[in-house]
Chains A and B, each alone.
Chain A
Amino acid sequence: MFEWPLLSLLIWVPILAAALIAAIGGGSPKLVRPLALIAAIVSFLLALVLYAGFDSGSTAKQFEEQVVWIAAFSVYYHLGIDGLSLPLILLTTPISLLIIVASWHIKDRPHLYMASFLLLQGLMVGVFSSLDALLFYVFFEAMLVPMFLIIGIWGGPNRIYATVKLFLFTFFGSVFMLIALLWLYLQSGSFQILDFHQLPIALHAQILIFLAFLVAFGVKLPMWPIHTWLPDAHVEAPTGGSVVLAAIMLKIGGYGLVRFALPITPDAAAALDWLVIGLSLVAIAYIGFVALAQSDMKKLIAYSSIAHMGFVTLGLFLAFAITRNTDNIVGAGLGVTGAMVQMISHAFVSGAMFLIIGMLYDRVHSRDMASYGGVANTMPWLGMFAVLFFMANAGLPGTSGFVGEFMVIMAAFHANFWFAFVAASSLLLGAAYSLWLVRRVFYGEVANNAVAGLKDLSPREWFLMITLAVFVLAIGIWPYPLIEMMEVSVGHLVEHIMVSKLP
């Protein structure tokens, strides 16, 4: 074990680098990009050290750090990770690195752009590693500030509407969580998440708290019907913003459900699992159809993200139905593991898809599918990667997209045949909209002069695509290391939520 405060370094190295870049960037713009890159690489290496030192066989929190923050309210700067947070932290650092590489050509105030992303990266790692509820809330909310600026400054024509909507939706959702957390604090006298896990709560209070969490994290995830900010935000965000939004910020919603809603209010979650499962199935099936109707490529991927996040919520909340039906705790764990794998896989796949759209947009300045056609003729390599990632999005076996969906559908069979039936419809719908996009944009005759003049991938773009392709295929072919990382923690979680917390 390392004696360094690794988690603190992972949080504060990018944040301090962001401050440094923002401070010196105006005067010496040449330093901005290398500095940002160095900070991102250092964080990535730190994350690898974290992975090396992690003991996946233990249910205890690891790499713990605890310092008093606000003594009067017994708030601690308390960090620590388990098998549920580690994969997400490991996800955050390479994605940030890729975003910085992908945004190398930003012209408008690059120092603020890089600083915003590094700040966001530090805050996201903070969210995944907080063990104190107030600390979590602070990181969770503070993320809005850089995101607000990223979309608002570097976004598309309708960016102001989109960024204000994103801000207000998320803020609206999270204030309920703040009240729930304060209520829990007043009951338990502590802000420690682990103390909340052990606190007995009456059912009516559990239901209110559960709903508060559901709104807070459901907005972030996003769940149907509180998803409407996401298509707007994705469409207007710059490529880097879209990538970080789809790849990591949506996962914070899923992580929040795993860390707060399920273990703190298991009885309410069991009582209301029909609600979440129903909303998830609507998201999977209905939003799948909505995605089919899009002509804007970014909007299509945004809706596809919502449908994929439906799998996450479905997998998380199947556990209760499964144990009610079959007493099969392994099946329950399967759903949760599937949901976690789905989150990781979706991060790489959606990130890659947004990067591809970004590469096309940089060249042609249009996101409308009608402006393209036959891109594979002029950009064969991009065409190859596009087919790979869009197939992964459709859940092709051998890619990471298959693993999570398959596990969740398997778990759904344990719960109820019709759940599985509706969920499996996504394989059809996902294939339909993904392949449709590929056909219209990449295949066929060269549609116009803009497409005819396209140049294939630059080395920088090659690097991005190859890296993501490696992750997608690696998880698809050999998911074991990922699953092994979280197996014990998932088992611990499932055991915990099966025990009633009613007083």
Chain B
Amino acid sequence: MTLTELQLALPEILVLSAACVILLADLFISDQRRGLTHMLAVITLVFAAILSLRLMMPPGEVVYAFSDTFVRDRFGDILKVFSYLTLAAVFVYAKHYLRVFGLFKGEFYTLSLFALLGVMVLISASNMITLYLGLELLGLSTYALVALNRDSRLGSEAAMKYFILGSLASGLLLYGMSLLYGATGSLQLAEISASLTGGAGDSMLLTFGLVFVVIGVAFKLGAVPFHMWVPDVYHGAPLAITLFISSVPKLAGLALAIRLLDNGLGGLHGDWQGMLVVLAVLSLLLGNFAAIAQTNIKRMLAYSTISHMGFMLLGILAGTPEGYAAAMFYAIAYALMSAGAFAVIIMVSGPDREADQIDDFKGLARRNPWHAFLMMMVLFSLAGIPVFLGFFAKWQVIAAVIAAGFTWLAVLAVLTAVIGAFYYLRVVKVMYFDEPEIERPVTAPVDFRAVLTANGVAMLALGLFSGGLISLCLSAFVVS
């Protein structure tokens, strides 16, 4: 372990030390001054972002460290920066919620930062052990976060469900990894890839391993038929935690899929492509149809997540650099859209209960025109209407899918998008066309509103000027 290797992992080291410092410091911070913990956490993210941006790898350059278990490349660096950004927004949104609901504890920040560390390790993994380590760090922190409100029966039940199903998925993934190790004799993703192109290995064993790995990835992404935990966890977890689960871990899910399926098992592209087609089609259909039937907005967005993950899988299954870039754009766009949507739900929530029913949004356009407008942009973006960000995500994925020769899949995907538009429109309808039932003003602290405004306007701005983000995502995979 040399100093240069440590330098490569500087952002991880920073987040780890900060998480430990916050864990300790929080013990000495009284409840009234808890805002200090929040500040420390946000400052950590800011510094991590500065570090990652300064150390950003140029396109095409890959550096390994720590006996080749840790990789730094442009793909990982970009994803990390967006992870900090999203988490910072999540922190600001969550602070308001946690205060209102009396859950403002330091644990939220330490657990979230450890989850972030898990995401970062996962993103930078070049070895299956590192990958698993990151995944578990993320998973265990998230299970605990779901149970943050320990008096909530719904929350405890969701945490239990999440823990059991998550552990099962980890087990399957680990089993798949062990089979792959048996077939190729290595845990290094690069070596596995090399031995696959060399034609080595027992194809039966490889296929078995691949199936388990794909199932593990599908579980983590929440793709049908491994989606059962998603609606219950989204519904049961406190809003601030749902907000977290629906944003940052999606970036990790993308990294998991790309690292394993492309970096490691790229040679088996023909085998996993078919599996992903099935997962994507089922997710698109079930996610969109089931979302129509929901009256609870958290559950509706949970099913919508399932369909969006299906869309993201379409980009991955294309198996081309453009497809991966499209999937990456999709994941980033989704994290931003989802954070915005949950933020508005937090804002509408009262001190007595979460505004988790679609009817709670009745007449929002009269109660708070500006934030209803932001929510409308987020919803149209989720529905994939131009000129919002979500359209450009869908458009690139569809282009990649058609280029890979799956025109029928593209047709199916856009048709499910039309179905999806229906339930997003329903929320717009409730906000704009219905009269408010309660007059209580919808307010939030200034920092909350500022971040939400930036987040909502980004839907439009990143859509109008999508060229930059598209080039950025492409630069992670294509050396021009």
Contact = CB atoms under 8 A, between A and B. Distances in A.
Interface of A: 26, 68-73, 75, 134, 137-139, 141-142, 144-145, 148-149, 152-153, 159-160, 164, 167-168, 171-172, 175-176, 178-179, 182-183, 185-186
Nearest to B402: A182
A183 B432 contact: no
B432 A175 contact: no
A186 B474 contact: no
Contacts of B98: none
Given A73-B470, A179-B411, A182-B410, A148 B425 contact: yes
Contacts of A142: 385-387
B391 to A, nearest CB: 8
A171 B399 contact: no
Contacts of A144: 385
A178 B402 CA distance: 11
Contacts of B380: 145
Contact of A138 (B387, B398, B403, B432): B387
B421 interface: yes
A149 B433 CA distance: 8
Contacts of B369: 26
A112 to B, nearest CB: 8
Given A152-B429, A152-B432, A73 B399 contact: yes
A65 B391 CA distance: 24
Contact of B410 (A145, A160, A179): A179
A40 B414 CA distance: 36
Nearest to A68: B467
B395 A153 contact: no
B422 A168 contact: yes
A13 B256 CA distance: 46
Interface string B385-403: 1110001000110110011
A167 B417 CA distance: 13
A179 B380 CA distance: 20
Contacts of A186: 399, 402-403
Contacts of B466: 70
Q: Main SS of the interface on chain B?
A: helix
A71 B474 CA distance: 11
21 contacts: A26-B369, A68-B467, A72-B474, A73-B396, A73-B470, A138-B387, A138-B391, A139-B386, A142-B386, A145-B380, A145-B385, A152-B433, A164-B425, A167-B421, A168-B422, A171-B385, A178-B414, A179-B398, A179-B407, A182-B399, A186-B402
Q: How large is the interface on B (under 10, 10 to 19, 20 to 34, 35 or more residues)?
A: 20 to 34
A437 B410 CA distance: 47
A243 to B, nearest CB: 21
A168 B399 contact: no
Contacts of B422: 164, 168
Nearest to B434: A160
Contact of B470 (A72, A138, A159, A160): A72
A179 B421 CA distance: 17
Contacts of A175: 414-415, 417-418
A154 B283 CA distance: 37
A141 B417 contact: no
B428 to A, nearest CB: 8
B17 interface: no
Contacts of B417: 175
B62 to A, nearest CB: 22
Nearest to A208: B407
A110 to B, nearest CB: 13
Contacts of B414: 175-176, 178-179
Contacts of A176: 411, 414
Residue among A73, A134, A137, A176 with the highest chain B CB neighbour number at 10 A: A73
Interface of B: 369, 380, 385-387, 391, 395-396, 398-399, 402-403, 407, 410-411, 414-415, 417-418, 421-422, 425, 428-429, 432-433, 466-467, 470-471, 474
Contacts of B398: 178-179, 182
A154 to B, nearest CB: 10
Contacts of A153: 432-433
Nearest to A212: B411
Contacts of A159: 433
A144 B384 CA distance: 12
B395 A168 contact: no
Given A141-B386, A145-B385, A152-B433, 17 more contacts: A71-B467, A73-B399, A141-B391, A142-B386, A144-B385, A148-B425, A160-B433, A164-B429, A167-B421, A167-B425, A171-B385, A179-B407, A179-B410, A182-B395, A182-B399, A182-B402, A183-B402
B418 A171 contact: yes
A75 B465 CA distance: 12
Contacts of B403: 186
B384 to A, nearest CB: 9
A159 B433 CA distance: 9
A183 to B, nearest CB: 6
A193 B435 CA distance: 45
**4 closest Cβ pairs, A-B complex:** A175-B414, A138-B386, A70-B467, A141-B386
A137 B386 contact: yes
Contacts of A172: 415, 418
Contact of B471 (A72, A141, A168, A185): A72
Nearest to A178: B414
A165 B23 CA distance: 54
B279 to A, nearest CB: 22
**Counting chain A CB atoms within 10 Å of each CB, which of B385, B386, B417, B467 scores highest?**
B386
A73 B399 CA distance: 10
Contacts of B429: 152, 160, 164
B351 to A, nearest CB: 27
A183 B418 contact: no
B407 A183 contact: yes
A268 B421 CA distance: 31
A272 B415 CA distance: 25
Contacts of A139: 386
A70 B470 contact: yes
Nearest to B373: A22
Nearest to A22: B373
Contact of A171 (B402, B421, B467, B471): B421
B418 A185 contact: no
